[in-house]
Amino acid sequence: MTEKHFILATAGHVDHGKSALVKALTGFDPDRLPEEKARQITIELGFAHLQLSAPASTLNLQLSTLSIGIVDVPGHEDFVRNMIAGVGSIDLALLVVAADDGWMPQTEEHLQILTYLGVRRAVIALTKSDLGKIDNVRTQIRKQLRDTAFAHSRIIPTSVRTSEGTKNLRDALAAELSTLQPQRDLGKPRLFIDRAFTLHGIGTVVTGTLNNGQLRRGQSVVIQPQNLEARIRSIQSHGSELESAQPAMRTAINLPDVAIGDAPGQIKRGDVITVADLGRSSASLIVLLEKSSRLGSKDPAGRPLKNGTSVYLHHGTSRLPAKINLLEDRSLKPGEETIAQIRLESPIFAFLGDRFVLRDASEQHTIAGGIVLDPDGDRRKLRSAAQRKLFAEPAGAPNDVDLCVRSKILVNGFVREQTVLRKSHFSADEITEALQRLHRRSEIVFHQEIAADAKAWQALRGRAIGLIDDAHKRNPQRAGLDLNELRTAFRDQSPDVFEALIVDLCATDFV
């Protein structure tokens, strides 16, 4: 018997029964705050656990259980920021639509957010089915989901009052998740903190969804974006003590030596628990921006996105003020996409391929989304149309490691081998194998620890040879060109690249 871990999040309009449905599925009420009880709406993220058996299959005789961490999100328009923090790392969405209301404004906004974040699978719960109008609302849902990734999602009528459909919904969730591959262990753990609190006698505890790798008890970790070192005293998942947590687990970590707060050296929601050697955080991203074609021209969120627009960027569980720098003298209209730079007020720990959402400066509307193309974005790399094309190629095939590695090297010309796609959704072994394939095809070369585009390296080499030959012609009586003079001529290159160039020249043409 194997256990597979997945994350499911609710989505949908306020008062459509998301929390009640989670309670019916799991027996646990995700609304934990007194204010939520008093107002009878979800304000903060809620969490629950559901254990299901994978449906029997003649193709897969190995029995498995599905351990599902459920994130219940608020549906009220005032708490969309909290909703986005809950759906950033999910495998499946549970989109909830009530039979008495049908498709509503936050249903639509939540759908667009899921789409921007790259969620591709959903089950639709048609709640309050005991009130009738099921067929009409089902038809409406199908119409609204047409031309989306969820067009063929199952629609399950449910009623928490009569318990109708609860078993059918469990079966639908199990069937959908059983067809998914569990998240891979890339050896690059990131836990985006969604809660941080203090327990008497224990200290600071943070919770979040673990992605991309494992974390273990006693391990030294780094808290980004501060690059703050800490140590894990203990780990839990759904109340059970663990030696290590796996990808796609809801995870609680005890960090006794770190205080909660916004001051330097403290920890809060939006921070990321990770490990050393994965690079630093950055306040500049190069991205592919997308504005949903579902936005109408009269919709405030549908207004063209202009260069210099101030926005809030939602990434993982963080939310930060930012400014958009469009690379061409144009605006972004609904249904369009473009390469852009985003400058943030504070750094974030992003990977190539990460998804994000943009909301307007007033935090009233979700206006765009996109994918990170370079988590350490430098606008100077995008001066030409050819360079912008190199950045855009991986966006169309984010799982093609060869394409992503090739693009990274072409854009930069020269990259340290150990840093190539370090902040990406590829493992170290996958990146190394891609580098070797590109080398065998003579597309890149290796010198010292530098991976370089073959043509760029030849051009660099030719430039050095030209400078040396010219120095000999101008001063034939001298023994040669002083190394410091050559280093000054190549001050536009990093010391690592310069040293690799000298070693290459001395190995063949020069002393």
- Is the bond preceding 225 in cis, omega lying within 30 degrees of 0? yes
Strand-pairing partners, residue 51, are 67
pLDDT for res 480: 78
Residue 383 CB partners (closer than 8 Å, separation 6+)? none
The answer to whether the Cα torsion of 298, 304, 308, 310 is positive or negative is positive
- State the DSSP code for 133: -
pLDDT for res 57: 60
What are the structural domains, with CATH classification, of the chain? 2-178 (3.40.50.300), 190-274 (2.40.30.10), 282-380 (2.40.30.10), 399-511 (1.10.10)
pLDDT for res 353: 93
Q: Which two tokens stand for residue 110?
A: 């939540």
pLDDT for res 350: 97
Q: What are phi and psi of 179, to 5 degrees?
A: -90, -5
Question: Is-above-0.75 flag for pTM?
Answer: yes
- How are beta strands 155-157 and 122-127 bridged, if at all? parallel
pLDDT for res 58: 43
pLDDT for res 460: 94
Per-residue pLDDT of the chain (511 residues; tens, 9 = 90+): 688 999 999 999 988 989 999 999 999 888 766 665 666 667 678 899 999 988 866 445 566 899 999 999 987 777 788 899 989 889 999 999 999 999 999 999 999 999 999 999 999 999 999 988 899 999 999 999 999 999 999 999 999 999 999 999 999 999 999 999 899 999 999 999 999 999 988 999 999 999 999 999 999 999 999 999 999 999 999 989 999 999 999 999 999 999 999 899 999 999 999 999 899 999 999 999 999 999 987 889 999 999 999 999 999 999 999 999 997 767 999 999 999 999 999 999 999 999 999 999 999 999 999 999 999 987 777 777 777 777 778 877 888 999 999 999 998 889 999 999 999 999 999 999 999 999 999 999 999 999 999 999 999 999 999 988 888 888 888 877 888 888 998 998 999 999 999 999 888 877 7
Query: Residues 378, 418: contact at Cβ < 8 Å?
Result: no
Coil, helix or strand at residue 261: coil
CA dist 214 and 253 (Å) reads 12
Residue 474 CB partners (closer than 8 Å, separation 6+)? none
